[in-house]
Structure 1
Amino acid sequence: MKPPPFDYHAPVSVDEALEALAEAGPHGKVLAGGQSLIPLLNMRLVAPSQLVDINRVGELDTLTADAGGVRVGALARHATVERSAEAAAVQPLLRQALALVAHPVIRNRGTVVGSLVHADPSAEMPAALALLGGSVRLARLGGEREVAAADFFIGPMESAIEPGELAVSAFFPALPPRSGTAFREVARRHGDYAVAGMAALVTLDEDLRIVSARVACVSVGPGPVVVDVSDACGRRPAASVPWDAVTAAVRDRIDPDEDIHATAEYRRHLTGVLAERALKDAARNAVTEAAHE
């Protein structure tokens, strides 16, 4: 398989990259990790006339963590973020999610921001960003804008990035006090896309009762499906939560498709099972976090 012909650009600064993208308009594509784009090119599912390779733009290879959250630059590789103790301390869901992304060789090259822009509904990073209420920073000639996760994922393989724009970073807010996160998924083989997946975030009060609980479902909609199940948890300790009501609330919010890997009904059932497991994991992690305060 060979990609269709294209003009190749190799900018060394953000400004050069934005100029190339502005000139290319809707006919341009950005190459960062390439773990999604290269197969699409080789199978001729996409045919851009202009390819802008940003791998020489060193200012995009950044990863910063502070009390507010973690900002991941467009060239930060999955593996770099996964291995960062500073990022994991501020937002542990990043490491939990990235450990499930494909295989190590893919994580060594693929980028977090690239995965977000690709907007695959079966991918882990869009679910993590959506659950945490994060955002993506988009730049173009003349300015930039910050797009919230709720507005960024438009549909399957479709994000809010417009022609001429470059996703320069993504922001993942810090873990709130007395909170815990978890990520669970089921795949046919480890490293495959999830048949169904679940990210969870639980926050406790001083008496270790659940005051906030949310999940982001993977592979059961056109994008990550975020469900608030705080009311269903009923401000109880995790050990006394009515999990049947919680999982029912999650299953009622999803509309999975059937494909060669699973029926819609199996995905719905599996999503409920994963929701309970991920929420229990997140609650346990929240208790541990509260003990360290």
Structure 2
Amino acid sequence: MIPAPFEYHAPTTLEEALQLLAESDDAKVLAGGQSLLPVLKLRLAAPEVVVDLAKISQLQGIREEGDHIVVGAMTPHYVVADDPTVNQHALLLAEATRTVADPQVRHRGTLGGALVHADPAGDLLAPALSLEAELVIAGQGGATRTVPAADFFEDLFTTAVGEDEILTEVRIPKHTGWGAHYEKFTRVAQQWSIVAVAATVRSEGGTVAEARVSLTNMGSTPVRCTAVEEALVGMSADSDRLREVCAAAGEGTTPPDDTNGDAAYRRHLAGVLTGRAVRAALA
């Protein structure tokens, strides 16, 4: 459980971090370390260089910017979960973040680290998709680009962030007044999700005016349930058709088969959990 030798750098500016990545052909970014450190200890990865972003203050913090809230990529989970701005304008993100692992992990892990790691069983990918987040990526020479969450997650553990780039912040459109719920199913506490549902709903007069629903661990990337979202509009929490509509959430998905359950089981779970999540969000 001892990592292979590597050079360790802890830059204090984004520019310095990007330069270090550019100078190495085999570097890994440390953005909290809750995923990377176990991989290094097991020697599933043995980079020559590790660049720790913890000392770059510009990558931390939460602020409002017009009709968006902006969360620095190195903001720890516990800060995101407790922040009043996030709870007011992006409740779904706060709800999901509170379910991540345990307090120790939530104090060390970061939002950006979790998103770039892109584990399909991770709890923050589906909320980012449901909230239609935009992810800002910095590259060499001061270049930046903004990628919608729908395009950010490309495949299993693969994102739009290049080897010499760094995710700097997450921009989330304000969902002020929207109900939200993250329904997570595990066999034991603090485990990765077998299936989870990230639902946020804007209601008018007790019925759904808009809905956003995404699934965790139902494919190699998070899955947005647009057909379910459209069908939910106009329904109330006690509608006879709500269960039927939500039961279709897993249709067309390609969940994994493993010791926690096969694909058919996960599709069934997705439908059941979507109904629970939507009702809770409406409440």
TM-score (norm 1): 0.91
What residue in structure 1 maps to residue 174 of structure 2? 174
Residues 1-293 of structure 1 correspond to what in structure 2 (within 5 A)?
1-25=1-25, 27-65=26-64, 68-142=67-141, 143-176=143-176, 179-205=178-204, 207-228=205-226, 229-233=228-232, 235-284=234-283
CA 1:180–1:66: 2 relative to 1, 3 Å: farther
Residues 225-234 or 7-16, more deviating: 225-234
Question: How far did residue 203 of structure 1 move?
Answer: 2.1
CA 1:53–1:234: 2 relative to 1, 3 Å: closer
- Unpaired segments of 5 or more residues in structure 2? none
Aligned to 1:101, the other structure's residue is in SS state coil
User: 1:35 touches 1:110 (CA, 8 Å); kept in 2?
Assistant: yes
Aligned to 1:238, the other structure's residue is in SS state coil
User: 1:66 touches 1:90 (CA, 8 Å); kept in 2?
Assistant: no
Aligned to 1:124, the other structure's residue is in SS state coil
Residues 238-247 or 72-81, more deviating: 238-247
Aligned to 1:277, the other structure's residue is in SS state helix
User: 1:67 touches 1:90 (CA, 8 Å); kept in 2?
Assistant: no
Question: How far did residue 234 of structure 1 move?
Answer: 5.2
User: 2:247 touches 2:270 (CA, 8 Å); kept in 1?
Assistant: no
Read off the aligned partner of 1:261 and give its amino acid letter.
N
Read off the aligned partner of 2:189 and give its amino acid letter.
H
Residues 29-38 or 79-88, more deviating: 79-88
Aligned to 1:204, the other structure's residue is in SS state strand
Question: How far did residue 69 of structure 1 move?
Answer: 2.8
Question: How far did residue 88 of structure 1 move?
Answer: 0.8
Read off the aligned partner of 2:136 and give its amino acid letter.
R
The separation in 1 between residues aligned to 2:52 and 2:250, in whole angstroms, is 41
The separation in 1 between residues aligned to 2:147 and 2:184, in whole angstroms, is 27
Read off the aligned partner of 1:49 and give its amino acid letter.
E
CA RMSD of aligned residues (A): 1.6
CA deviations over 1:63-106 (Å, ceiling 9, x no partner): 21355232111221001111112221111112100111000000
Aligned to 2:271, the other structure's residue is in SS state helix
Read off the aligned partner of 2:127 and give its amino acid letter.
A
Q: How many residue pairs get matched?
A: 281
What residue in structure 2 maps to residue 287 of structure 1? none
CA deviations over 1:102-131 (Å, ceiling 9, x no partner): 000000000011000000100111111011
Question: How far did residue 241 of structure 1 move?
Answer: 4.8
The separation in 2 between residues aligned to 1:213 and 1:95, in whole angstroms, is 17
Read off the aligned partner of 2:199 and give its amino acid letter.
A
CA deviations over 1:34-53 (Å, ceiling 9, x no partner): 00000011112222211111
The separation in 2 between residues aligned to 1:145 and 1:214, in whole angstroms, is 25
User: Could you tell me the percent identity over the aligned residues?
Assistant: 36
User: 2:183 touches 2:276 (CA, 8 Å); kept in 1?
Assistant: yes
User: 2:247 touches 2:274 (CA, 8 Å); kept in 1?
Assistant: no
User: 2:237 touches 2:282 (CA, 8 Å); kept in 1?
Assistant: yes
User: 2:118 touches 2:156 (CA, 8 Å); kept in 1?
Assistant: yes
